[in-house]
Amino acid sequence: MSKKIFTVLLLVVFMLAQFSIASALVVAGDASITAIPDFANAVDVDVDWAVTGMAGPSQNILIWSRIQNAVPVAYSTCYDVATIIGTSDASGTFTYTLPVVLNGDVVEFLITVESTNCAGAVAPLAAEVPMGETTVDSAAMEGLFSIPPYDGVAAFGSQPVACNNFELWALATDNYAPIVPAGTGYSGFGAWNPLVTGTFVPAPIGANSSLLSWNFSLPSTATGAWSMSVNPEDASGNMGVAAASFRTALAIAVGETDECVTFSDISGSDYETYVRYLATLGLISGFADGTFGPDTNLSRAEASTLIEISNGVSDTDPGFGTPPAAGSACDFSDVSATDWFAGWVWQACDDGYMNGVGGGLFDPNNLLTRGQIVTIMNNVALSAVVPGGFLATANVMQGPWGTPFPYRTAAWTDVSVGAFYAIPVVNAYGVGVAEGTSATTFSPDQAATRGEFAMMLYRALSQVAPLP
């Protein structure tokens, strides 16, 4: 054998040896986190992972985690989620059980591919950039749950309804300021999880929303025990400790399946349920021709009448209609004792629910605006006068109204800071009594309709309890 051939053979053997050694080495693939939810509920979180381009006899897929801190810290916790043998691509989902965490904590994750398991692996440095992270949302939904207006004293869970058409409404937030400090992440509203038992089916509640409007129409044949409840859940799966129940499986009571008072022009209106229910309670009325006029504007005099009727005032009460002292704050030059509305205007003024417009005028025949409606309700909520009638029960205006932390907020472009209706608008919208005319407008100077007033009054007089 020539020296040249021998040299070539040695080179071939050397290359084969190197190839054999290389083929036995672990070749780490490209690892990544392919999906992770933005928020976790402080219990666990699913982390989707994938690795491609691996080669070697045995490789471990390790997931590392750490709690984000103002001072960078190394990844502290390791989980051996899979062992891959041979050349392979791999993927899977690892359910990570969160340690003790606080609401708003951020948990970061990183994946490594190694021949050792967690016991022999070296933790990544603090400088390593995480592949995925999730924010902890451990706060349950906060808010209120209502039942229709009722002036009785029965327990919240056992109230009857006045007639067969009514609305249950509720308001929930995942960002209630006393629970979730400013700047803390939150997952947002998820679902109401309604539950109904009984011999009837309510109308669907529509798309999930932070304000629930749940309409019922009890058939005349409804019998037996029935109840309805909600248990709102945020997008991270946090739920209350118990469902908020309107009824607790009580039997249908006499009168609950009776038709509500109706009017010839109310069918199909957005305000039908509110108008008919309040009319059944005797709190509002229609016109002599059998109509209600839901789209007709409301006067300031009419508003004073409706709010005082809700206050339990009757025009047959002793002293009703007695003129105020001359020159007093309620002595209006445009309100005469012969006017049908005089007693109502004077009573609403004396109770502090309605004021004049300046210059000694009440302006009784002018149209009531949306801003004035919520101002009246704000005055009722904050008045020092002990209310009566439906205003005296545990309704919205005697409960959550005026709290410094409304359940919902909006950036109104047409509500000026310092306007007389500014705070009332915030309060009315914040507790679910009023809606805007768009996502950014409240239209406080727009004349209110009788139907709008009925909706706001129904909500304001609804008895409420906090979500559990």
The pLDDT value recorded for residue 443 is 98
Residue 21 has pLDDT above 50, yes or no: no
User: What average pLDDT does this structure show over 98-123?
Assistant: 91
User: What average pLDDT does this structure show over 301-323?
Assistant: 96
pLDDT one-digit tens code per residue, 85-96? 887 899 999 999
The pLDDT value recorded for residue 209 is 82
pLDDT band at 316 (very low <50, low <70, confident <90, very high): very high
Beta-carbon-side half-sphere exposure of residue 200 (alpha carbons within 13 Å): 22
The pLDDT value recorded for residue 234 is 94
Check residues 196 and 13 and name the one with the higher pLDDT. Answer: 196
The pLDDT value recorded for residue 179 is 86
Q: Which domains does the chain have, with CATH numbers?
A: 24-136 (2.60.40), 142-298+367-466 (no CATH)
pLDDT band at 27 (very low <50, low <70, confident <90, very high): low
User: What average pLDDT does this structure show over 6-16?
Assistant: 37
> Which range is least confidently modeled, 79-83, 134-138, 204-208, 258-262?
204-208
User: What is the pTM (predicted TM-score) of this model?
Assistant: 0.88
pLDDT band at 203 (very low <50, low <70, confident <90, very high): confident
pLDDT one-digit tens code per residue, 351-363? 999 999 999 999 9
The pLDDT value recorded for residue 46 is 96
Share of the chain above pLDDT 90, in %: 71
The pLDDT value recorded for residue 310 is 97
User: What average pLDDT does this structure show over 321-348?
Assistant: 96
Share of the chain above pLDDT 70, in %: 94
Residue 18 has pLDDT above 90, yes or no: no
